[in-house]
């Protein structure tokens, strides 16, 4: 068993041994620190605690002598002690700052023994042009100012820590990087990385499209590479593809023009910060699978070079991502960035090397906890980890004019951190969308009552005047409508399990706000619920419908797809869809079968098949149906109300209906709507008194009148109907 020693406090060390008895001695900066007490845990003979008769100085080399074997004492529990927090919490600028003809570098590394700045001409290769030691400053910050504006230079830090070999690391705050993110780049964000009209574009978009409430949003989630991998783009699989007007083989508009026509309000990019598992030097190699979703983060503040036209130049990717955002803004759409602060790809990440053990959670034996399912989880509750996350978010908000953020495994972030994130982002922009996954990916050491999961996120209070607080995905809506994601062959309300799921669909249609359905989760506002039936994870909606209903004819599965979308867009909450859900997107292996976890599958599985969108086809029909649903939702504010009491008072489910059928009136915002969900067979539905204009049925959707009805309607199976009182 490996001998280990961890600094728990300035006068305490915990050792893990092989069970043998040792004569323990402790040294700090070469000076013996007396051991006043040695205690063996009554529960584990391998755990030994040393109480010291004097204080350690962890800023100097510290080690424990196990009889004759010296073991470095690494900081661990000390990071959570009040004295450490008071002494080393820093609220100033970190990273690189250019001021006139001076460039200043700052790295927070409180227990580093030495830090050296290295400068390079290029992002890879070449000689170190500097190699100069930095100075320890206040609060554990190392600082060095160089004469001259070093914009465009590449840099790293060499950090020395007790008991570890010197490591050359990338600045965790680096705004851009060289190829494969191995070196940071000094980047002046206000010069040649700024597209023409950049600030004006953002101002104009915000003036006309800023959200007043989250439920006004319609979100379309896409992977940058998927978007244009199978198009005639001049810049396939890159940010620049979002700047082009494109047509498919049939002459149909695709790409950004397609999105503007569809009516979505926000494009959600899967992670575009630098991630670890794609080799950017091999992008031109057609035999190399350059695909990954990007949930393997490495450099949090730098765009992914694989999505630029030149991954070797750190400025190109900053410029081209800004171009993509500007293009979407000009077409009236906001941009949401998917962020992955809950873990790093591995312990070689810059955060890990800059301050060993600090940014992560560990068990008492020094083993990393794994709430992410990826080998580690970050410690958002620690002051400087929280600061890093907020600084990073504000960097993306300001540098790339972000309109929202989606948090991966948000349950791994503590509630207090997410509350501070909400405040920081909404002080900057009150219309900023903030939402995430209200769960974890494995066993975590973060206490359950501190996790920002779907239950505890309700404790986050939106800032006055903001469009919302922190929203969570509704797995209740997802699984009740089309079947559980972890049971591939299990259907839901639209695919032949209507009787088992009808009440959960009712609950979901009310934005998850009603306590009347005996559910295990209720939310305080429909603005804190993201309604969806498919996302990048798990089976695409069309594949799920095919898995559960494959023996049914295509037209019936098309009806199920339309019905699922109809429920999402007529429910209270924030509607969200996976790119291509509205055109029967499938992720199919070349050898057959559906890929439910295509995070590193090749383009042939992940590409959006734009050429299959042909006028008059089933895909065209469903696309037009979703377009109509979006238009209908936008036209009727009653669908977007958020207050639980208002939703309760506005919603009246018709009694004495066939059990599987959901029919209700929605009276709010000066209008009366009548909504019907019919999953099985023809249903005769009595209409409330008055005349009702049909706007949505199983075939068509929009805000044009499809006929006026009184007294009764006959609703076809597997369809949503929506009528407006006239």
The pLDDT, as a whole number, for residue 570 is 98
588: β partners: 594
Per-residue pLDDT averaged across 128-157, rounded?
A: 97
The pLDDT, as a whole number, for residue 10 is 97
Q: Find all residues with CB under 8 Å of 347, minimum gap 6, and list them.
A: 360, 368, 376
pLDDT, tens digit, for every residue of 556-605?
999 999 999 999 999 999 999 999 999 999 999 999 999 999 999 999 99
pLDDT, tens digit, for every residue of 37-50?
999 999 898 999 99
Gap between the Cα atoms of 681 and 684, Å rounded: 10
> Of 296, 377, 429, 437, which residue is the catalytic one?
437
The pLDDT, as a whole number, for residue 161 is 98
Of the two residues 220 and 551, the one the predictor is more confident about is 220
714: β partners: 684
Average predicted confidence (pLDDT) for the chain? 97
The pLDDT, as a whole number, for residue 551 is 87
Token representation of residue 660 = 């599987």
Listed by start position, the domains of the chain span 4-75, 85-185, 648-725
The pLDDT, as a whole number, for residue 404 is 98
State CA 612 to chain mean position distance. 29
The pLDDT, as a whole number, for residue 518 is 87
The pLDDT, as a whole number, for residue 46 is 93
85-185 matches 648-725 in fold: yes
Spell out the CATH class of 85-185: mainly beta
Per-residue pLDDT averaged across 164-170, rounded?
A: 97
pLDDT, tens digit, for every residue of 87-130?
999 999 999 999 999 999 999 999 999 999 999 999 999 999 99
Residue 674 has pLDDT above 90, yes or no: yes
Residue 522 has pLDDT above 80, yes or no: yes
pLDDT, tens digit, for every residue of 180-199?
999 999 999 998 999 999 99
Fold of 4-75: Immunoglobulin-like (2.60.40)
Residue 318 has pLDDT above 80, yes or no: yes
pLDDT, tens digit, for every residue of 482-516?
999 999 999 999 999 999 999 999 999 999 999 99
H, E, C per residue of 349-415: CHHHHHCCCCCECECCCCCECCCCCCCCCECCCCHHHHHHHHHHHHHHHHHCCCCEEEECCHHHCEH
Residue 237 in contact with residue 224, Cβ under 8 Å? yes
408 an active-site residue? yes
11 an active-site residue? no
Q: Which of 335, 309, 355 is nearest to 141 (CA)?
A: 355
How sure is the predictor about 364, in pLDDT bands with cuts at 50, 70 and 90?
confident
The pLDDT, as a whole number, for residue 550 is 81
Q: Give the range among 19-23, 141-145, 662-666 with minimum mean pLDDT.
A: 19-23
CA angle 394/398/402 to nearest 5° reads: 85
DSSP 117-129: EEEESSSSSS--S
pLDDT, tens digit, for every residue of 572-582?
999 999 999 99
Residue 1 has pLDDT above 90, yes or no: no
> Of 221, 408, 621, 660, which residue is the catalytic one?
408
Per-residue pLDDT averaged across 711-724, rounded?
A: 97
**Is CATH 1.20.1640.10 what the domain over 648-725 is classified as, yes or no?**
no
Residue 703 has pLDDT above 80, yes or no: yes
Share of the chain above pLDDT 70, in %: 100
The pLDDT, as a whole number, for residue 453 is 98
The pLDDT, as a whole number, for residue 54 is 96
């Amino acid at each position: 068993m490996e001998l280990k020693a961890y600094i728990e406090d300035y006068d305490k060390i915990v050792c893990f041994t092989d069970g043998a008895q040792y004569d323990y001695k402790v040294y700090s900066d070469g000076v013996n620190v007396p051991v006043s007490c040695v205690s063996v845990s009554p529960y584990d003979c391998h755990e030994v605690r040393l109480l010291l008769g004097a204080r350690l100085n962890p800023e100097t080399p510290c080690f424990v002598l196990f009889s004759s074997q010296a073991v470095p004492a690494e900081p661990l529990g000390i990071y959570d002690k009040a004295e450490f927090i008071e002494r080393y919490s820093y609220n100033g600028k970190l990273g690189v700052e250019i001021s006139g003809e001076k460039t200043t570098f700052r790295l927070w590394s409180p227990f580093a023994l030495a830090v050296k700045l290295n400068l390079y001409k290029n992002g890879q290769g070449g000689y170190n042009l500097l190699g100069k030691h930095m100075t320890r400053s206040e609060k554990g910050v190392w600082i060095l100012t160089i004469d001259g504006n070093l914009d465009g230079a590449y840099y790293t830090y060499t950090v020395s820590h007790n008991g570890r070999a010197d490591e050359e690391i990338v600045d965790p705050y680096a705004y851009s990087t060289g190829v494969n993110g191995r070196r940071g780049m000094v980047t002046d964000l206000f010069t040649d990385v700024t597209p023409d009209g950049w600030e004006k574009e953002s101002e104009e978009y915000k003036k006309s499209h800023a959200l007043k409430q989250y439920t006004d949003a319609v979100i379309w989630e896409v992977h940058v590479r998927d978007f244009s991998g199978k198009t005639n783009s001049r810049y396939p699989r890159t940010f620049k593809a979002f700047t082009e007007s494109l047509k498919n083989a049939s002459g149909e508009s695709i790409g950004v023009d397609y999105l503007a026509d569809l009516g979505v309000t926000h494009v959600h990019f899967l992670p575009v910060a630098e991630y670890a598992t794609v080799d950017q030097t091999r992008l031109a190699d057609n035999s190399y699978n350059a695909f990954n979703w990007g949930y393997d983060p490495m450099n949090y503040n730098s765009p992914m070079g694989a999505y630029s036209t030149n991954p070797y130049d750190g400025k190109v990717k900053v410029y081209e991502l800004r171009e993509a955002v500007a293009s979407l803004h000009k077409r009236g759409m906001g941009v949401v960035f998917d962020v992955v602060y809950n873990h790093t790809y591995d312990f070689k990440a810059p955060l890990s090397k800059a301050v060993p053990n600090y940014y992560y959670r560990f068990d008492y034996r020094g083993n990393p906890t794994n709430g992410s399912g990826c080998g580690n989880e970050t410690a958002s509750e620690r002051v400087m980890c929280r600061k890093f996350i907020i600084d990073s978010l504000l960097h993306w908000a300001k540098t790339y004019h972000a309109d929202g953020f989606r948090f991966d495994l948000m349950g791994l972030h503590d509630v207090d951190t997410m509350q501070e994130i909400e405040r920081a982002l909404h002080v900057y922009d009150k219309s900023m969308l903030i939402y995430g996954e209200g769960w974890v990916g494995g066993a975590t050491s973060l206490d359950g009552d501190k996790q920002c999961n779907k239950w505890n996120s309700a404790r986050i209070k939106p800032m006055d005047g903001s469009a919302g607080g922190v929203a969570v995905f509704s797995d209740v809506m997802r699984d009740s409508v089309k079947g559980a994601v972890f049971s591939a062959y299990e259907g839901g309300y639209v695919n032949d399990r209507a009787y088992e799921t009808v009440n959960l669909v009712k609950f979901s249609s009310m934005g998850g706000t009603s306590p009347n359905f005996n559910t295990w989760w209720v939310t305080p506002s429909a603005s804190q619920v993201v309604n969806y039936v498919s996302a990048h994870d798990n089976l695409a909606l069309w594949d799920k419908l095919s898995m559960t209903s494959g023996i049914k004819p295509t037209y019936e599965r098309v009806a199920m797809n339309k019905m699922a979308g109809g429920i999402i867009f007529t429910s209270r909450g924030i509607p969200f869809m996976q790119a291509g859900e509205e055109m029967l997107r499938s992720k199919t292996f070349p050898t057959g079968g559906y890929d439910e976890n295509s995070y590193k599958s090749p383009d042939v599985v992940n590409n959006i098949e734009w050429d299959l969108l042909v006028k008059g086809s089933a895909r065209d029909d469903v696309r037009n149906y979703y377009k109509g649903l979006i238009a209908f939702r936008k036209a009727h504010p009653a669908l977007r109300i958020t207050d639980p009491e208002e939703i309760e008072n506005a919603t009246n489910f018709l009694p004495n209906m066939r059990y599987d059928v959901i029919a209700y009136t929605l009276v709010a915002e000066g209008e009366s709507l009548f909504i019907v969900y019919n999953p099985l067979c023809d249903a005769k539905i009595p209409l409330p008194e008055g005349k009702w204009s049909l706007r949505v049925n199983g075939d068509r959707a929009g805000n044009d009148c499809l006929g006026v009805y009184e007294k009764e309607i006959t609703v076809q199976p597997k369809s949503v109907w929506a009528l407006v009182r006239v």
